Protein backbone atom coordinates (compact mmCIF):
# COMPACT_ATOMS: atom_id res chain seq x y z
CA UNK A 1 0.00 0.00 0.00
CA UNK A 2 1.33 3.37 -1.01
CA UNK A 3 1.30 5.86 1.79
CA UNK A 4 -0.40 9.16 1.12
CA UNK A 5 1.42 12.43 1.65
CA UNK A 6 0.53 14.21 4.86
CA UNK A 7 0.25 17.93 5.44
CA UNK A 8 2.56 18.86 8.27
CA UNK A 9 1.84 21.78 10.57
CA UNK A 10 4.42 24.44 11.28
CA UNK A 11 7.39 23.15 13.21
CA UNK A 12 7.27 24.05 16.87
CA UNK A 13 10.29 26.13 17.97
CA UNK A 14 12.74 24.61 20.42
CA UNK A 15 12.11 25.30 24.09
CA UNK A 16 13.92 28.36 25.43
CA UNK A 17 14.59 29.61 28.95
CA UNK A 18 12.99 33.01 29.51
CA UNK A 19 12.88 35.30 32.53
CA UNK A 20 10.05 37.63 33.50
CA UNK A 21 10.28 40.68 35.76
CA UNK A 22 7.12 41.36 37.77
CA UNK A 23 6.04 44.48 39.64
CA UNK A 24 2.95 46.16 41.10
CA UNK A 25 2.18 49.08 43.40
CA UNK A 26 -1.57 49.66 43.11
CA UNK A 27 -4.47 47.68 44.53
CA UNK A 28 -3.16 44.68 46.44
CA UNK A 29 0.29 44.26 44.89
CA UNK A 30 1.31 41.03 46.61
CA UNK A 31 -1.97 39.36 45.67
CA UNK A 32 -1.66 40.53 42.06
CA UNK A 33 1.83 39.10 41.82
CA UNK A 34 0.62 35.76 43.21
CA UNK A 35 -2.13 35.81 40.59
CA UNK A 36 0.48 36.53 37.94
CA UNK A 37 2.47 33.46 39.04
CA UNK A 38 -0.67 31.36 38.61
CA UNK A 39 -1.35 32.86 35.17
CA UNK A 40 2.23 32.22 34.04
CA UNK A 41 1.87 28.63 35.16
CA UNK A 42 -1.08 28.25 32.79
CA UNK A 43 0.55 29.62 29.65
CA UNK A 44 0.39 27.28 26.64
CA UNK A 45 3.55 25.47 25.50
CA UNK A 46 5.28 26.79 28.58
CA UNK A 47 6.42 25.51 31.98
CA UNK A 48 6.93 27.75 34.98
CA UNK A 49 10.31 26.65 36.31
CA UNK A 50 11.09 29.06 39.15
CA UNK A 51 9.69 31.97 41.15
CA UNK A 52 11.58 34.45 43.30
CA UNK A 53 10.88 35.89 46.69
CA UNK A 54 8.91 39.15 46.81
CA UNK A 55 10.72 42.43 47.45
CA UNK A 56 9.51 45.85 48.51
CA UNK A 57 11.31 48.53 46.50
CA UNK A 58 11.28 52.30 46.23
CA UNK A 59 9.83 53.62 42.96
CA UNK A 60 12.03 54.76 40.10
CA UNK A 61 10.88 58.03 38.56
CA UNK A 62 7.98 59.93 40.15
CA UNK A 63 8.12 59.61 43.94
CA UNK A 64 4.44 60.50 44.52
CA UNK A 65 3.42 56.84 44.35
CA UNK A 66 3.48 53.81 46.66
CA UNK A 67 6.43 51.47 47.00
CA UNK A 68 6.51 48.56 44.58
CA UNK A 69 6.43 44.86 45.20
CA UNK A 70 8.77 43.11 42.74
CA UNK A 71 9.52 39.52 41.82
CA UNK A 72 10.82 37.39 38.95
CA UNK A 73 9.79 34.14 37.29
CA UNK A 74 11.60 31.64 35.10
CA UNK A 75 9.91 29.93 32.18
CA UNK A 76 10.78 27.14 29.77
CA UNK A 77 8.74 27.99 26.69
CA UNK A 78 8.08 27.12 23.08
CA UNK A 79 6.27 30.39 22.47
CA UNK A 80 8.10 32.82 20.22
CA UNK A 81 9.24 36.10 21.79
CA UNK A 82 6.33 37.92 20.16
CA UNK A 83 3.83 35.31 21.31
CA UNK A 84 5.20 35.43 24.84
CA UNK A 85 5.06 39.23 24.91
CA UNK A 86 1.44 39.10 23.79
CA UNK A 87 0.63 36.55 26.48
CA UNK A 88 2.23 38.73 29.17
CA UNK A 89 0.29 41.78 28.03
CA UNK A 90 -2.92 39.74 28.09
CA UNK A 91 -2.23 38.72 31.71
CA UNK A 92 -1.59 42.37 32.62
CA UNK A 93 -4.88 43.41 31.08
CA UNK A 94 -6.86 40.64 32.78
CA UNK A 95 -5.41 41.63 36.15
CA UNK A 96 -6.38 45.26 35.76
CA UNK A 97 -3.53 47.13 34.11
CA UNK A 98 -4.50 50.21 32.13
CA UNK A 99 -1.79 51.65 29.88
CA UNK A 100 -2.08 55.44 30.24
CA UNK A 101 1.25 56.28 28.65
CA UNK A 102 2.80 57.54 31.87
CA UNK A 103 6.42 56.41 32.07
CA UNK A 104 7.45 54.81 35.36
CA UNK A 105 4.03 55.59 36.79
CA UNK A 106 2.03 53.46 39.25
CA UNK A 107 0.42 50.30 37.93
CA UNK A 108 -1.67 47.33 38.93
CA UNK A 109 0.74 44.87 37.32
CA UNK A 110 3.83 45.01 35.13
CA UNK A 111 5.21 41.92 33.40
CA UNK A 112 8.48 42.54 31.55
CA UNK A 113 10.16 40.01 29.30
CA UNK A 114 13.74 40.37 30.51
CA UNK A 115 15.56 37.58 28.69
CA UNK A 116 14.64 35.05 26.02
CA UNK A 117 17.58 32.67 25.90
CA UNK A 118 20.55 34.61 24.53
CA UNK A 119 18.46 36.41 21.92
CA UNK A 120 19.26 40.03 21.13
CA UNK A 121 16.35 41.86 19.51
CA UNK A 122 15.57 45.51 18.80
CA UNK A 123 12.15 46.20 17.31
CA UNK A 124 9.53 48.88 18.02
CA UNK A 125 7.50 46.31 19.98
CA UNK A 126 10.21 44.40 21.85
CA UNK A 127 13.83 44.83 22.85
CA UNK A 128 15.88 41.97 24.26
CA UNK A 129 17.52 41.86 26.66
CA UNK A 130 15.22 44.32 28.41
CA UNK A 131 17.01 47.65 27.84
CA UNK A 132 17.02 48.83 31.49
CA UNK A 133 17.39 45.59 33.41
CA UNK A 134 21.14 45.93 33.96
CA UNK A 135 20.59 49.21 35.86
CA UNK A 136 17.70 48.13 38.05
CA UNK A 137 18.29 46.52 41.41
CA UNK A 138 14.58 45.76 41.69
CA UNK A 139 14.97 43.57 38.59
CA UNK A 140 18.37 42.02 39.33
CA UNK A 141 17.77 41.08 43.00
CA UNK A 142 14.70 38.87 42.31
CA UNK A 143 16.32 37.51 39.16
CA UNK A 144 19.37 36.44 41.16
CA UNK A 145 17.06 34.32 43.36
CA UNK A 146 16.23 32.01 40.47
CA UNK A 147 18.82 32.36 37.68
CA UNK A 148 22.06 30.38 37.41
CA UNK A 149 24.98 32.09 39.12
CA UNK A 150 26.82 32.46 35.81
CA UNK A 151 23.86 33.82 33.84
CA UNK A 152 25.11 36.10 31.06
CA UNK A 153 22.96 39.06 30.07
CA UNK A 154 23.87 39.49 26.39
CA UNK A 155 25.78 42.66 25.77
CA UNK A 156 25.81 43.62 29.47
CA UNK A 157 27.76 41.03 31.44
CA UNK A 158 27.15 38.42 34.08
CA UNK A 159 24.23 38.80 36.44
CA UNK A 160 26.44 38.68 39.54
CA UNK A 161 28.61 41.51 38.23
CA UNK A 162 25.61 43.64 37.28
CA UNK A 163 24.06 43.16 40.70
CA UNK A 164 27.31 44.08 42.45
CA UNK A 165 27.44 47.30 40.42
CA UNK A 166 23.91 48.49 41.26
CA UNK A 167 23.67 47.14 44.82
CA UNK A 168 20.63 46.31 46.94
CA UNK A 169 19.79 49.73 48.35
CA UNK A 170 16.10 50.38 48.94
CA UNK A 171 15.19 46.70 48.41
CA UNK A 172 13.63 44.69 51.23
CA UNK A 173 12.45 41.09 51.12
CA UNK A 174 8.86 40.61 52.25
CA UNK A 175 6.76 37.62 53.26
CA UNK A 176 4.59 36.05 50.59
CA UNK A 177 0.94 35.78 51.67
CA UNK A 178 -1.25 33.33 49.85
CA UNK A 179 -3.92 34.77 47.54
CA UNK A 180 -7.32 34.84 49.30
CA UNK A 181 -5.78 32.88 52.18
CA UNK A 182 -5.51 29.72 50.09
CA UNK A 183 -2.25 27.74 50.08
CA UNK A 184 0.29 28.23 47.34
CA UNK A 185 1.81 24.89 46.41
CA UNK A 186 5.29 26.19 45.61
CA UNK A 187 7.59 28.15 47.94
CA UNK A 188 9.32 31.47 47.34
CA UNK A 189 12.59 31.16 45.45
CA UNK A 190 11.57 27.68 44.37
CA UNK A 191 12.72 25.74 41.38
CA UNK A 192 9.60 24.02 40.07
CA UNK A 193 10.26 20.79 38.15
CA UNK A 194 7.83 19.28 35.69
CA UNK A 195 4.59 21.09 36.46
CA UNK A 196 3.29 20.61 32.95
CA UNK A 197 4.79 19.23 29.81
CA UNK A 198 5.70 21.42 26.89
CA UNK A 199 3.11 20.76 24.24
CA UNK A 200 4.42 19.64 20.89
CA UNK A 201 2.12 21.89 18.94
CA distance 78 to 71: 23
110 catalytic residue (yes or no)? yes
Catalytic residue among 110, 136, 145, 176: 110
Catalytic residue among 76, 112, 156, 158: 112
Q: Where are the alpha helices (DSSP H) in the chain?
A: 29-41, 81-94, 137-146, 159-166
107 catalytic residue (yes or no)? yes
Catalytic residue among 47, 56, 78, 97: 97
CA distance 45 to 51: 18
DSSP 8-state assignment for residue 152 = E
Q: CB atoms < 10 A from the CB of 91, how many?
A: 21
Catalytic residue among 45, 107, 136, 176: 107
CA distance 91 to 41: 11
CA distance 181 to 19: 27
Nearest to 48 by CA among 195, 179, 201: 195
Query: Torsions phi, psi of 2, nearest 5?
Result: -85, 125
CA distance 70 to 114: 13
So which residues are the catalytic ones?
A: 97, 107, 110, 112
Amino acid sequence: MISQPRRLGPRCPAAVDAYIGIGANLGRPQRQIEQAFVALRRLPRTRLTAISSLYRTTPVGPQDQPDYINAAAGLRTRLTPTELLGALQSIEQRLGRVRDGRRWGPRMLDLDLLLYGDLCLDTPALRLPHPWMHRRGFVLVPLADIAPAGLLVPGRGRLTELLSAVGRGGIQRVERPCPDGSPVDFPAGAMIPGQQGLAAG
